[in-house]
Amino acid sequence: MSELYTAVVNLEISEISFCGNLHTAGGIYLLASSITSLLTVTMFTLKFWFVVLIQQYSIVRSSILRTDCVFVGPVFKLCLYLDGWLNTCVAIERTVNVSKGVNFDKKMSRHAARWVILILPIFIMNYLNIQLTNVIPSISVVI
């Protein structure tokens, strides 16, 4: 549970740091990354307690296992992938900023960052959906 408290403190510090820096796309990406980091730690804590409770009690209903496989796992993967891609977007934005120099358009970059933050989870969920369709039939056979 201490990692969850640490993640909440990290989010608060990130909000204080990046809210004043939202005039650049990098600040928007970093704020979104800190929010996804909090979600990742939350999902990790939830997954940890799922595993602990499943190991403690040998009689577990299949609906609990299915919830873990269908909801917790994919959301955890979504948060992990989204955080990695947002950090990649920061690097790309900084590279484009350096390469364009004074001709860099901050307004267009902020606009593109907002669209990327909205569209990126859809692409990641589509990728995870492809993975889930391959995993779900094998789960029903095991349970």
- Binned at pLDDT 50, 70 and 90, residue 119 comes out as very high
Q: What is the largest CA-CA distance in the chain?
A: 64
Q: From CA 77, how far away is CA 31, in angstroms rounded?
A: 19
Query: Above 60 in pLDDT, residue 22?
Result: yes
Q: What residues does each domain of the chain span?
A: 2-142
Against a cut of 0.85, is the pTM above it? no
Burial of 125: CB neighbours in 10 Å, binned 0-12, 13-18, 19+: middle
In the numeric block, the tokens 């873990």 are attached to 68
Stretch (H or E) spanning 108: helix 106-142
Q: From CA 97, how far away is CA 73, in angstroms rounded?
A: 36
Query: Above 60 in pLDDT, residue 138?
Result: no
Mean pLDDT of the chain: 78
DSSP 21-55: TTTSHHHHHHHHHHHHHHHHHHHHHHHHHHHHHHH
- Binned at pLDDT 50, 70 and 90, residue 141 comes out as very low
Q: What's residue 120's pLDDT?
A: 93
- Binned at pLDDT 50, 70 and 90, residue 38 comes out as confident
